[in-house]
């Protein structure tokens, strides 16, 4: 059953080929059998999942079920889940049990009727590109257990790639959906900023964070994403816009589609074999009727330094609330309030989180705000203007998602700059707030390669349709890792 698409699983549930309880138990059994090798889950909600599955079966029997009722799903452990631990993969929140559900959780489970299998591992507070900063240990890539699955949504990616869940939620602050999708042969989409509510999603960098989905195909991603989107008055950055049914718009021809190829994304630093895979995908789209447009995003190379001023600054502010007083880790033996703050934050936060908090505090401090943070925001506007001009020439922008295939565990942990450069192609979309996605486009040395598509604001349907049409003509996305068939 784990090799079926979400659409096929939904059809099987409605035709009574299997029940939601049987389907859920199948995935729970796979988690028990395989996740010890991957470490993709922090918490498995076995009892709750079976209760939800029984409720879904009752709805299916009564004829009140929705399109996703009874389909299992994994949640990234950054979304608050009532009465279930929400740790953000940090010692700071190791014992935190959320008293409420995030809007995404409410939409997918209470409203859409999906079944929550558990909470997936991630980089601590979503800060990382390899899923090695988690308090609970690194996640391993099912395509090669010696390699990383990407981050920060590496647990979600590994779980779906290994067939431990049909799909999983994820978040993307600088590429944390698209990069792990590329490294694990998945389709992952980050929608337009504000399209998915951030209420109940623990904040890293508030002007960049956006929820999305990881799945095995564009069609699966469309089905889940359309259940996630919608205006939320509890989120001040939520966009008030009519709901969309992305899955109904996947059958459109891409003949005449203008595909922009930014020269900055095919320059020095890109692995030649990865470039070849992306160029083969471009050729396939041309055979399907697309036309190519050479474009330039001149400020794209500045996206990494811009991001690593803006994101740490916002993280410094957002994580100030974790002080050992109200909730979260509290250090023992403190003799003063100041000592309590220092010891609790020193023990509760890992090295990467501490590094970013210190950078953020520095760039916001008196005497450095104008020199760093203000300048970064000016460059951010230039990056946005580059995209605005580009979309006057083309409909979608295409390029590689990553410079390389999945790298080995511990190979970059001592070099933060090298780690940060993993997101060099993905960060610009977050700074601009536009939708972007990654989809499989081939393999290098038996490791997956991802192709990135970026669109103008609220063009998720177009991106998903292009990806779906490409996947109808190719088969890379259908391959599964050995040992997890």
152 is catalytic: yes
DSSP string, 333-366: S--SHHHHHHHHHHHHS-HHHHHHHHHHHHHHST
Q: Other CB atoms closer than 10 Å to residue 33's CB: what's the count?
A: 11
Q: How far apart are CA 152 and CA 170, in angstroms?
A: 9
- Transcribe 453-464 into DSSP letters: EEESTT-HHHHH
Catalytic residue among 40, 130, 176, 476: 176
128 Rama class: left (phi>0) / alpha (psi -120 to 50) / beta = left
User: What six digits make up the tokens of 329?
Assistant: 């880790």
Active site includes 176?
A: yes
- Name the residue among 223, 244, 230, 250 with its Cα closest to residue 67: 223
Which residue out of 19, 40, 76, 153 is catalytically annotated?
A: 76
Q: Encoding tokens for residue 485?
A: 């068939």
Q: Is 365 a catalytic residue?
A: no
The residue to which tokens 């993969």 are assigned: 89
- Which helix or strand (DSSP H or E) is residue 325 part of? none
State how far Cα 36 lies from the chain centre: 22
- Six token digits for residue 303: 């996206």
The catalytically annotated residue of 20, 152, 156, 344 is 152
Helices (H), 248-374: 272-287, 303-318, 337-348, 351-364
Beta bridge partners of 169: 213
Active site residues: 76, 152, 176
């Amino acid at each position: 059953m784990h090799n079926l698409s979400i659409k096929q699983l939904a059809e099987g549930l409605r035709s009574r080929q299997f029940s939601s309880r049987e389907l859920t138990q199948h995935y729970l059994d796979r988690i028990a059998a395989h996740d010890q090798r991957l470490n993709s889950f922090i918490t498995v909600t076995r009892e709750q999942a079976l209760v939800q599955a029984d409720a879904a079966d009752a709805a299916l029997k009564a004829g009140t079920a929705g399109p996703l009722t009874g389909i299992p799903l994994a949640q990234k452990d950054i979304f608050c889940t009532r009465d279930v631990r929400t740790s953000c993969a940090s010692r700071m929140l190791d014992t935190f049990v959320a008293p409420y559900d995030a809007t995404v959780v409410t939409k997918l489970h209470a409203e859409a009727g999906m079944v929550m299998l558990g909470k997936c591992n991630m980089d601590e507070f979503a800060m990382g590109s390899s899923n090695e900063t988690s308090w609970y240990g690194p996640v391993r890539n099912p395509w090669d257990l010696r390699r990383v699955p990407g981050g920060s949504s590496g647990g979600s990616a590994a779980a779906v790639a290994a067939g431990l869940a049909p799909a999983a939620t994820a978040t993307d602050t600088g590429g944390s959906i698209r990069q792990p999708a590329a490294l694990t042969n998945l389709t992952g989409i980050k929608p337009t900023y504000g399209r998915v509510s951030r209420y109940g999603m623990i904040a890293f960098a508030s002007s960049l964070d956006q929820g999305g989905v990881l799945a095995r195909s564009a069609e699966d991603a469309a089905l889940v994403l359309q259940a996630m989107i919608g205006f939320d008055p509890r989120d001040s950055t939520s966009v008030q816009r009519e709901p969309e049914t992305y899955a109904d718009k996947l059958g459109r021809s891409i003949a005449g589609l203008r595909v922009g190829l930014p020269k900055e994304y095919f320059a020095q630093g890109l692995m030649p074999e990865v470039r070849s895979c992306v160029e083969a995908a471009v050729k396939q789209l041309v055979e399907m009727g697309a036309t190519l447009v050479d474009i330039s995003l001149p400020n794209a190379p500045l996206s990494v330094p811009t991001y690593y001023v803006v994101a740490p600054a916002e993280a410094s502010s957002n994580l100030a609330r974790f002080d050992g007083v109200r909730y979260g880790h509290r250090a023992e033996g403190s003799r003063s309030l100041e000592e309590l703050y220092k010891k609790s934050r020193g023990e509760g936060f890992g090295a990467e989180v501490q590094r970013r908090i210190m950078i953020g505090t520095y760039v916001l401090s008196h005497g450095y705000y104008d020199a760093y943070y203000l300048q970064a925001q000016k460059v951010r506007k230039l990056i946005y203007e580059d995209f605005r001009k580009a979309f006057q020439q083309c409909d979608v922008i295409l390029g590689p998602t990553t410079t390389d295939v999945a790298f080995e565990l511990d190979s970059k942990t001592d070099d933060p700059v090298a780690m940060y450069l993993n997101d060099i192609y993905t960060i610009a979309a977050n700074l601009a707030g536009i939708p972007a996605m990654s989809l499989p486009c081939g393999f290098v040395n038996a490791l997956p390669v991802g192709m990135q598509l970026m669109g103008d604001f609220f063009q998720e349907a177009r991106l998903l349709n292009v990806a779906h049409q490409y996947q109808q003509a190719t088969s890379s996305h259908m391959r599964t890792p050995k040992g997890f068939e």
